[in-house]
Amino acid sequence: MSTAADVRRARWRPWGRSSSVAPSMSVIEHLRELRKRITYAAVAFLVVSIGAFFLYEPILELLRGPLCSLDERFLGPQGCQLVFTRVSGAFAFRLKVTSLAGIFLSSPVWLYQIWAFITPGLKSKEKKYALPFLLSAVILFIVGGVVAYLTLPTGLRLLMTIGGEGLVAFLEADRYLSFVGLMMLGFGVMFELPIFLFFLGLVGVLSVEQLRRNRKVALIAIVALSAVVTPSQDPFTLLALAVPLYLMYEGSILALRLVNRRKARNKLAV
């Protein structure tokens, strides 16, 4: 009799792999499994966000860091202080700050839940990459956020001076946080590209040859996506995202090539 795990494995055979288990798991059961993973991720996010709520001051200082690092001539009369224009603005801003912290600090949990939902459908040889995949995904997501954070001063400097000397910056807290949050989350998600490509190569959807043939297309796509993800639109920030992404694209090709060579050697040994 097939277990639930066996049936879940069967659903992940879309590329012609043979399986002795009939894909009898219903759509409802698929949705239940997905709901469970989403629930775990949401609980982790909520718990971490509650903890971050009580660490609001140091988190706020960290997020204001790129703005406060600018020279006084780039700032308005309020310096690097942020303003709000509604009575409830301060409380809503605090919730958004803690939510942003919750997304980043709970990333090991929700990235694991994504992998846990996918992994039952993989072969045993593919499952051995579970821990490296998870660690790499977490590290790359955080590194992406850090790279965005480090490029923020340059982007802010350009955006706050591009209008000329007749304009003075008067930054609203909510909009500043949206700008910083989009940059950090966008970079974090984009830095997952090599993990995604390596996974598709591992399960046979992409080949090394396909990735090598489409280098130019990949480069154009990376530059275009980088332009969309970077709200500042300045060349420095765009390159800070596009260059690492393309290098990681090449790294994915190299990693897949090494895996394929190992598989070929194992077949010859047998």
CB atoms within 10 A of CB 58: 10
Check residue 128 and give its pLDDT: 73
Beta bridge partners of 83: 172
Check residue 54 and give its pLDDT: 92
Token digits for 192?
């997952």
Find the distance separating the first CA and the last CA of the chain, reported in whole Å: 32
Check residue 53 and give its pLDDT: 92
Check residue 104 and give its pLDDT: 92
CA distances from 169 to 74, 81, 156, 162, 224 (A): 8, 11, 11, 11, 29
Secondary structure, 3-state, 164-196: CCCCCCCCEHHHHHHHHHHHHHHHHHHCCHHHH
Identity of residue 118? I
Check residue 231 and give its pLDDT: 66
Check residue 16 and give its pLDDT: 37
Check residue 31 and give its pLDDT: 84
Check residue 238 and give its pLDDT: 84
Parts of the chain with a pLDDT under 50: 1-2, 7-24
Q: Name the residue ranges covered by the structural domains of the chain.
A: 27-269
Check residue 161 and give its pLDDT: 74
- Residues counted in the chain: 270
Say if residues 212 and 131 touch (Cβ distance below 8 Å).
Answer: no
Distance CA 177, CA 136 (A): 27
Q: pLDDT (tens digit, 9 = 90+) per residue, 186-213?
A: 899 989 988 888 888 887 888 888 999 9
Check residue 10 and give its pLDDT: 44
